Amino acid sequence: MSHTDFPSYRGEMEYVCLGCGARRPGDSLLYTCPDCGGVFLLENTRFDALRATGGQQWRAVFDGRAATRTTALRGIFRYYELLAPLMDEEDIVYLGEGLTPIVEAAPALRDQVGVPFAYKNDGQNPSASFKDRGMACAFSYLKWLCRRHNWDEVLTVCASTGDTSAAAALYASYVGAPLKSVVLLPHGKVTPQQLSQPLGSGAKVLELPGVFDDCMKVVELLAEQYRVALLNSKNSWRILGQESYAYEVAQWYGWDVSDLCLFVPIGNAGNITAIMCGFLKMLDLGIITSLPRIFGVQSEHADPVYRYYAAPAAQRSWAPVTVTPSVAQAAMIGNPVSFPRVRALAQRFIEAGGDRAFQVVQVTEQQIMDSMIEANRHGHIACTQGGECLAGLRNARALNLIDGNEHAVLDATAHSLKFSGFQDMYFNDTFPASYGVHPRPELSNKPVLLLPEDAREGKDVAEYARLGAEAVVARLGLRKK
């Protein structure tokens, strides 16, 4: 069989509870452990069979698939055997997710920061955030499950105010029957932009008075008692899909990640967990021979994971925090559901890669905004969380956690356009006091109206063009050639 055909290997997936260690078969929908309430990671019990193929051979397989004409292998499932190798080709949903570009920092920005770095633009996914990686996997699994159990209707539900609902609604609308998507939002707590994505995808959008956490509780109750598929972070199939980020980074750098430092924002902590899982799997199979270093980044307005790891190892104790408003809104979470996953994976990462292999740095709201604006003034398309990563890199450098010979890869988790409201507040100096952000005047940018509002009236095209040109010339001080 050629590397570009759909593989015949099938694994067998099991849920493994991080609380009590219980195992359950992967052919039913489970979110938390029925025994202890813990979160799951998924494990392929036939992973050993993959070891028969050497690391070098795996690299050749994945490199070969870059040229595949098999649609199902064109996105995150280029790494099929490492993700959820249950599904058949017909189950796989491909909307162009994954294989997002890694763009080296503009030279002027790189010199300013003092460390070579690149952005991986995960905002260039179909719904403009990395959440699509997880949804592609979760929806492919759902299709497989529906076929297996002959289900004729499944409601997918999620509570969200942003990127999760956008991604879930997009994939559900593409797949169509038997899947239908419902999004539960806290009434009045979402901006028109945040609403527009699930509405545009035709999802049923339900609202409840209250906050996000209230909606989350409702959705969890529904998932316990009805046949609905919960698509929030507790869904471990999403975590699997998000591992693809790690595979892509390794492949881009020729499978040598020893000098890389990855910066990842932490919200519910699903993404950073998935990325660590991905690198550990590659190390296990000899696809890479050493781990990169992973830096989690949190704002001081929502930093429970930072606080946990800031304490000396013997004195660490987990405590959720109360968040205050953060521009890194998609990561503004005080009690991340995936914290047990972080703790488990960080430990494995440090065992395999040493003390410096996993660290968490903290940044201020001011640094996040300044960094996002500066990145985007140098041709990048970072969202606020992407700005958070650049701020994290700067702080790591200042703390001497990283030296000038290493190469950083920053996760721009969403497209800058999703968060343009914060850019507006920065340019117009209209941040509510609770954010504590004071724009640097030299970074502000506003449109300039050249002529009075009624200037067009009563003039023909040629006359108005002359007037407009004169106004441009005067404004820019242009000289005739």
Ligand X SMILES: *Cc1c(COP(=O)(O)O)cnc(C)c1O
Among 32, 44, 129, 251, binds ligand X (CB under 6 A): 129
DSSP state of 95: S
- Residue (11 or 241) nearer to ligand X, CB: 241
Q: Which of residues 394-453 bind ligand X (CB under 6 A)?
A: 413-414
Whole-number minimum distance, CB 438 to ligand X, in Å?
A: 24
Output the 3-class SS for 271-335.
Answer: HHHHHHHHHHHHHHCCCCCCCCEEEEEEECCCCHHHHHHHCCHHHCCCCCCCCCCCCCHHHCCCC
| Residue from 235, 423, 249 nearest 337 by CA | 235
**Which residues does residue 118 pair with via DSSP β-bridges, in sequence order?**
104, 409
Among 6, 7, 19, 99, binds Zn ion (CB under 5 A): 19
| Cα of 106 vs its chain's centroid, Å | 22
- Residue (11 or 267) nearer to ligand X, CB: 267
Site map 21..60 versus Zn ion, x via CB under 5 A: -x----------x-xx-x----------------------
- Cβ neighbours of 132 (radius 10 Å): 30
Whole-number minimum distance, CB 350 to ligand X, in Å?
A: 19
- Residue (119 or 339) nearer to Zn ion, CB: 339
CA-based radius of gyration for the chain: 24
Amino acid at 80: Y
CA distance 206 to 92: 28
Query: Of the listed pieces 33-41, 269-277, 369-377, 430-438, which binds ligand X according to CB under 6 A?
Result: 269-277
Q: Which of residues 108-147 bind Zn ion (CB under 5 A)?
A: none
Reading the block at residue 37, the tokens are 């309430």
Query: Of the listed pieces 109-117, 174-182, 267-275, 424-432, which binds ligand X according to CB under 6 A?
Result: 267-275
Q: Does 231 bind ligand X (CB under 6 A)?
A: no
Give start and end residues of each alpha helix (H) in 226-261: 236-242, 244-252
Site map 362..391 versus ligand X, x via CB under 6 A: ---------------------x-x------
Burial (CB count <10 Å: 0-12, 13-18, 19+), residue 323: middle
Whole-number minimum distance, CB 102 to ligand X, in Å?
A: 17
DSSP state of 207: E
Among 265, 292, 340, 353, binds ligand X (CB under 6 A): 265
Q: Which residues bind Zn ion (CB under 5 A)?
A: 17, 19-20, 22, 33, 35-36, 38
Q: Which residues bind ligand X (CB under 6 A)?
A: 129, 131, 162-163, 233, 265-271, 330-331, 383, 385, 413-414
